[in-house]
Amino acid sequence: MSSITSEPEKKILDAAKAVFEEFGYNGARMQKIADVAGISKASLHYYFRNKDNLFDRIFDETMSEFMLIVSTWTNVEEEWDVKLRNFIIEFYTFLKTNSLLFILREINRNPELLKRRKPKPKAGFLSYFENLKSAGVIRNINVPLIYVFMHSLCSYPLLNRSLFKRTTGLSDAEFETFMDEYPNHVADFLIEAIKKTNRK
Amino acid sequence: MSSITSEPEKKILDAAKAVFEEFGYNGARMQKIADVAGISKASLHYYFRNKDNLFDRIFDETMSEFMLIVSTWTNVEEEWDVKLRNFIIEFYTFLKTNSLLFILREINRNPELLKRRKPKPKAGFLSYFENLKSAGVIRNINVPLIYVFMHSLCSYPLLNRSLFKRTTGLSDAEFETFMDEYPNHVADFLIEAIKKTNRK
DNA sequence: ATATGGTTTGACCAAATGGTCAACAAAAAT
DNA sequence: ATTTTTGTTGACCATTTGGTCAAACCATAT
């Protein structure tokens, strides 16, 4: 219903997303959004009554996109370790182009943003590995812990990129390589922690 | 030199820290800082010429405190795994009471904040484990990778707390316990990844 | 051509906000 | 006691910013 984003409406949403993600709610300016969208501020208000209105739309969209990636688990018939590696690489790639900081920043600013969203069903990741664990296919791990580990390992280096660049002692080139290879290292690491030891 | 923070000056710095950390540079209001400090806005400007001036002072202090914790490595004579566990627990405790999000948010807003700081010497963590590795005491690990892992595992759950609370499928009580035990799990995990396998 | 209905915008407005200043108060120095 | 310095503040100012509105614009139907 009425999500038929018309031509100028779409331009506005793109502009608003870019501006809100870069500057945050408090730093974003309606004039700036209008400029980026290539229209007047009055036109902007014609399509979206006010700033909160527009912001909520952007935040909800970004958040939905994020939750979709997070909670979807592949149905492909493969070994769990292959699925896990692919998921990690996809998730990492997704995070690279999407402003996770935007989400964290705004939730922190206004926790209400979360409360009004309907709670999501349990992430596919969790039940999938709970099942493998019950079936004795993998080690007797703490599944939520692995879930938190995976998220942390994928997310934080992208959030903290500029600081890690300074503190790891790597050169610019080395650091770029490091960040490119990173998701595979995360996969290696988690798979190693999950799989049954081959010691008898 | 002149860091003899006088009585009202200290009240202002405390207030400013609280307000900037909660609302960010763009969301913070000079009037709010004055209110929290219990003085007039004019007095606030008497002590700190302007908002940027005051902000820089707070940011630099917070950043220095953070970098100190990050780059200091214990000199206690103990086994590396004990030292690592203690470091992780201390670091996690530190992060719980300090706004890491503040640092990330403001660096993202204005990368200049980092550029003007003098680069820190390599973190003690890195050279310590490089040495152990050369000496063959631990596995042949990628040290910067472990460094990034440790930071990510300690930091992200605190940044993303409210979302994890919703997505892990744990009850409130379970989640609290989870977060309390968390640093020890991180330590277990990293130690396992670093220590030599006892397979011959 | 003209009326109709949606779209666009420059000009404005009111509130918020960072910052100033003259006047006053309180110490400190003389 | 009196001058001088330091601290404090209410009132004020200029700018920014979210938001409004009447007039103009433009497509389409009549």
Which residue's CA shows the smallest distance to C1' of D6? B46
Q: Which amino acid is at A75?
A: N
**Nearest-CA neighbor of A105 among B57, B60, B102?**
B102
**Residues of chain B found within 8 Å of residue A144, distances taken between Cβ atoms:** 168-170, 178
Closest-CA residue of B relative to A66 is: B163
Q: Name the least confident of A145-154, A183-192, B111-120, B125-134.
A: B111-120
Taking residues B168-192, what's their average pLDDT? 96
Q: How many interface pairs between A and B have CB atoms less than 8 angstroms apart?
A: 127
Q: Given an 8 Å threshold on Cβ–Cβ distance, is B27 in contact with A109?
A: yes
Instruction: Give domain limits for chain A.
Output: 1-48, 57-194
Q: What angle in degrees, to the nearest 10, is found between the helix axes of A124-134 and A80-97?
A: 160
**Residues of chain A found within 8 Å of residue B147, distances taken between Cβ atoms:** 167-168
pLDDT for B44-96, tens place per residue?
999 999 999 999 999 999 999 999 999 898 888 899 999 999 999 999 999 99
Burial tier of A44 (Cβ tally within 10 Å: 0-12, 13-18, 19+)? buried
**Residues of chain B found within 8 Å of residue A159, distances taken between Cβ atoms:** 104, 156, 159
Question: If you search the block for the tokens 């993600």, which residue do you land on?
Answer: A21
Q: What's the confidence (pLDDT) of residue A86?
A: 96
pLDDT for A45-70, tens place per residue?
999 999 999 999 999 999 999 999 99
Q: What's the confidence (pLDDT) of residue A199?
A: 53
Q: HSE-up of B22 (CA within 13 Å, CB side)?
A: 13
Closest-CA residue of A relative to B127 is: A169
Q: How far is the CA of A114 from the C1' of C28 (A)?
A: 57
Concatenating the DSSP letter of every residue in A120-167 gives PPPPHHHHHHHHHHHTTSS----HHHHHHHHHHHHHHHHHSHHHHHHH
Q: Given an 8 Å threshold on Cβ–Cβ distance, is B114 in contact with A170?
A: no
Nucleotides of D under 7 A from a protein CB: 7-11, 17-22
pLDDT for B100-133, tens place per residue?
999 999 999 999 999 988 877 778 899 999 999 9
pLDDT exceeds 70 at position A74: yes
Domain A1-48 grouped into CATH 1.10.10.60: yes
